[in-house]
């Protein structure tokens, strides 16, 4: 029955495909159904282009926040798709807890879109935020590497999967406050100096929470000689 409907739709020139987010038949402009296109719309205004801090009005022109004016983070720009909430949060959690198989294609497309919208300078390569090998063995995959691979392919640059390593096992950041997170993650990474020297790097992670991990990674890359760092995440939490 469905096959016949699809054939009929094809003949009628209607591209009836399944929405990659919810599985409903989609007839819209893009691949997503109308409802998901709305739920998963990118954030186009009301944020800081340096740290991604979200401001109340999503139609406001992006503006550098006071924190970034006083003490800029160790990167130039942050690209993100949208706020970590609702449909996007569900997709990311599903992706993480299904070994990267849930919605990986869709999330990669959102990440590539974020890179195209937010980044102003070309990058030489992509570095994912690494997991410690103990956590990697337990989880089986690194979600940042999966995203990083797709973004690198989309940008036509190499994925440097081994350029940054987590050398110290740290406790999960979720139960720590901002200060504790920074102390917990300090000196937890090491970067390949020969590979990073003079390079403009795009650092990729799935979610930006307090930015403590990304800050430490970016600092490590710069200490190893990277000429510049941009950051790309799928989602930014509201602080
Ligand atoms: Zn849908
Ligand atoms: Zn900011």
For every residue of 12-78, DSSP letters joined together read TT---EE-TTT--EE-SSSSS-HHHHHHTPPP-SSB-TTT-PBPS-TTSPP---HHHHHS--SSS-E
Per-residue pLDDT reduced to its tens digit, 145-178: 999 999 999 999 999 999 999 998 877 777 788 8
Asked if 235 and 81 touch (Cβ cutoff 8 Å), the reply is yes
Alpha carbon of 53 to ligand 2 centroid (Å): 6
Q: What's the pLDDT score for residue 128?
A: 97
- The string of pLDDT tens digits covering residues 109-124 is 999 999 999 999 999 9
* Helix H or strand E encompassing 183: helix 178-185
Residue 231, strand partner residues: 78, 203
> What pLDDT, on the 0 to 100 scale, is given for residue 105?
86
Residues of the chain with CATH 3.40.50.2020: 42-236
> Exposed/middle/buried for 184, CB within 10 Å: 0-12, 13-18, 19+?
middle
Query: Residue 71 Cα, ligand 2 centroid: separation in angstroms?
Result: 9
- Residue range 182-195: average pLDDT? 91
Mean pLDDT of 175-185: 82
**CATH number belonging to domain 42-236:** 3.40.50.2020
* Coil, helix or strand at residue 141: coil
**Confidence (pLDDT) at 139:** 81
Look up the pTM and report it. Answer: 0.89
* Whole-angstrom distance, CA of residue 22 vs CA of residue 97: 17
**What phi and psi values does residue 140 have, to the nearest 5 degrees?**
95, -20
What's the gap in Å between 22 CA and the centre of ligand 1?
Answer: 4
Section 94-104 average pLDDT: 77
The token duo for 113 is: 């879109």
């Amino acid at each position: 029955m469905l096959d016949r409907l699809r054939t009929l739709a094809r003949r009628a020139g209607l591209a009836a495909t399944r929405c990659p987010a919810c599985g409903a038949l989609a007839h819209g402009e893009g691949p997503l159904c109308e409802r998901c296109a709305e739920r998963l719309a990118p954030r186009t205004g009301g944020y800081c282009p340096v740290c991604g801090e979200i401001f109340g009005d999503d139609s406001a022109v992006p503006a550098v926040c006071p924190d970034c004016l006083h003490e800029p983070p160790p990167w130039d720009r942050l690209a993100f798709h949208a706020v970590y909430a609702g449909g996007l949060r569900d997709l990311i959690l599903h992706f993480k807890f299904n070994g990267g198989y849930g919605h990986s294609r869709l999330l990669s497309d959102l990440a590539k879109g974020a890179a195209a919208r937010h980044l102003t300078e070309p990058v030489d390569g992509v570095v994912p935020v690494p997991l410690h090998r103990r956590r990697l063995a337990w989880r089986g995959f690194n979600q940042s590497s999966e995203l990083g691979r797709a973004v690198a392919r989309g940008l036509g640059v190499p994925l440097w999967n081994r350029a940054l390593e987590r050398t110290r096992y740290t406790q999960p950041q979720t139960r720590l406050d901002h200060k504790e997170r920074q102390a917990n993650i300090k000196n937890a990474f090491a970067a390949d100096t020969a590979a990073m020297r003079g390079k403009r790097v795009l650092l990729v992670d799935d979610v930006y929470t307090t930015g403590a991990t990304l800050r430490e990674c970016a600092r490590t890359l710069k200490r190893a000689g990277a000429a510049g760092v941009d950051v790309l995440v799928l989602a930014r939490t509201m602080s």
